[in-house]
Amino acid sequence: MEAKEWKEKLLTKRKNGYDRMPADERAAMNAYCESYKAFMNASKTERECVSEGIRLAEERGFRPYTRGMALKSGDKVYLSNRGKMLLLAVIGRKSLAEGAQIAAAHIDSPRLDLKPAPLYEDTELAYFKTHYYGGIRKYQWVTIPLELHGVVALKDGSTVRVVIGEGDEPKLVITDLLPHLAKDQSKKTLAEAFGGEQLNILVGSEPIEGEEKERVKLAVMKRLYEKYGIVEEDFISAELEAVPAANATDIGLDASMIGAYGQDDRVCGYAALKALLDLEEVPGKTAVCVLADKEEIGSVGVSGMKTRAFDAFMEDLCDSQGVPVRACLEKSFCLSADVAIAYDPNFGEVYEKRNSAFMNYGISLCKYTGSRGKGGASDASAELVAYIRRIFDENGVIWQIAELGKVDAGGGGTVAGFMANRNINTLDAGVPVLAMHAPFEVAGKLDCYMTYKGMKAVYKN
Ligand code: MN
Ligand code: MN
């Protein structure tokens, strides 16, 4: 054989996805990305993801699951865990004793939560105090328009939904120092230049008429009362999240990318959901989609991936077939669908280029995440990686494999470890994203679409 033939036979050919994707898939890719942007615009918080997810699922014939419900092959059910985590299943042709095909993503994203006593006035300006949620770089959250989304739970048991700043409505903002007076601030590190207690959101400046003190705060509270019927004490039992006031939009002169808030990890969450909703045939094994909350703060709490709510759901499904849940889980496969780190040429020094994910190279597999010597990673087995290579290749899914940046440059985790702890074979995979955790993250359309195709391949196998 000539060297050229040896090369063809032996060496890996990494190719841009646009050189590999059949031309007739373009239309499907674009249609998928339009539906993804619409989902993002309707889903700025984990609760909104759940309600939008339920709306879409019901359109496709999914019914709410109730314990003890008789289930047969082809049945489509969903379960909302407290409105913040969504579990969906399509019952397969085979018994759950043969395992389930699971895709698990998270729908919470970094943001600024209001404190329990958020509203105050200083120098005749009204502000909300915040406590940031997840790993944010604080300097990115100042001087950008913000919206407020969430709920206020009242003592009478009712819940008021709050949305401030959508569409043409007035926005909120956190101010920054002007360069003219920033001599000292500019000498600080990026991490130190903004303190958590400085992330105070400007919410008003016009005083109410009269002689009262804190007239601006009172005027803001009056507006909130008139719109939502809430009083200051109600903030105590509220979950109000300040999120960037920007809708999902195409990026680039070629519109080849999507910019949006919360793509970590709603870009995978939507792919996992949409692939399940779009299954044309009843799958062999039962297909399960998990959209979890609280990943950004450790997958904790009653709606995070460590919750027994997932186990209870699986146990209920198994009970309907008289199958012990442990027998199902040990034969199950889970794709832990979370965003990967896309190589950014502007910051090449933190990547190891031979093992990086690249935009437009397809869904990125990640054998292990973690930091400082794979610490905290679930580290999928070689056999499992081979399995997913096979089913992706068989289903025309363009994929790549990568690590999370250079060894010792940092690292991160996903829900993978918590699924693996349940005796489920689990592998990480997802969309490579630029500017992850920033208020506006960027992903390639081809990768979004290939992640959707990857999820479908998992459910079908
Ligand atoms: Mn994530
Ligand atoms: Mn994250």
pLDDT confidence of 413, banded at 50, 70, 90?
confident
Q: Does domain 3-109+261-460 have CATH number 3.40.50.880?
A: no
For residue 105, the ligand closest to its alpha carbon is 1
Tell me, in angstroms, the distance from the centre of ligand 2 to residue 108's CA.
9
Q: Which residue has the higher pLDDT, 240 or 404?
A: 240
pLDDT at 212: 81
Tell me, in angstroms, the distance from the centre of ligand 1 to residue 321's CA.
33
Residues 316, 319, 324, 330, CA torsion sign:
negative
DSSP per residue over 27-41, as a string? HHHHHHHHHHHHHHH
Q: Which residues hold their Cβ within 5 A of ligand 1, which is an ion?
A: 264-265, 338
Tell me, in angstroms, the distance from the centre of ligand 2 to residue 130's CA.
19
Tell me, in angstroms, the distance from the centre of ligand 1 to residue 335's CA.
13
Task: Name the residue ranges covered by the structural domains of the chain.
Answer: 3-109+261-460, 111-244
pLDDT confidence of 259, banded at 50, 70, 90?
very high
Tell me, in angstroms, the distance from the centre of ligand 2 to residue 45's CA.
14
Q: Same fold for the domain at 3-109+261-460 and the one at 111-244?
A: no
pLDDT at 405: 83
Residue-wise pLDDT for 269-289, tens only, equals 999 999 999 999 999 999 999
pTM for the predicted model, two decimal places = 0.97
For residue 133, the ligand closest to its alpha carbon is 2
- Max Cα separation, the chain? 93
Tell me, in angstroms, the distance from the centre of ligand 2 to residue 265's CA.
7
Tell me, in angstroms, the distance from the centre of ligand 2 to residue 346's CA.
21
Contact call for residues 414 and 377 (beta carbons, < 8 A): no
Pick the CATH number of 111-244 from 1.10.287.990, 3.40.50.300, 2.30.250.10, 3.30.930.10: 2.30.250.10
Separation between Cα atoms, residue 13 and residue 110, nearest integer Å: 36
For residue 340, the ligand closest to its alpha carbon is 1
Q: Which two tokens stand for residue 286?
A: 């039962």
Separation between Cα atoms, residue 235 and residue 381, nearest integer Å: 47
Contact call for residues 160 and 224 (beta carbons, < 8 A): no
Tell me, in angstroms, the distance from the centre of ligand 2 to residue 109's CA.
7
Contact call for residues 92 and 285 (beta carbons, < 8 A): yes
Residue-wise pLDDT for 92-117, tens only, equals 999 999 999 999 999 999 999 999 99
pLDDT at 118: 98
For residue 366, the ligand closest to its alpha carbon is 1
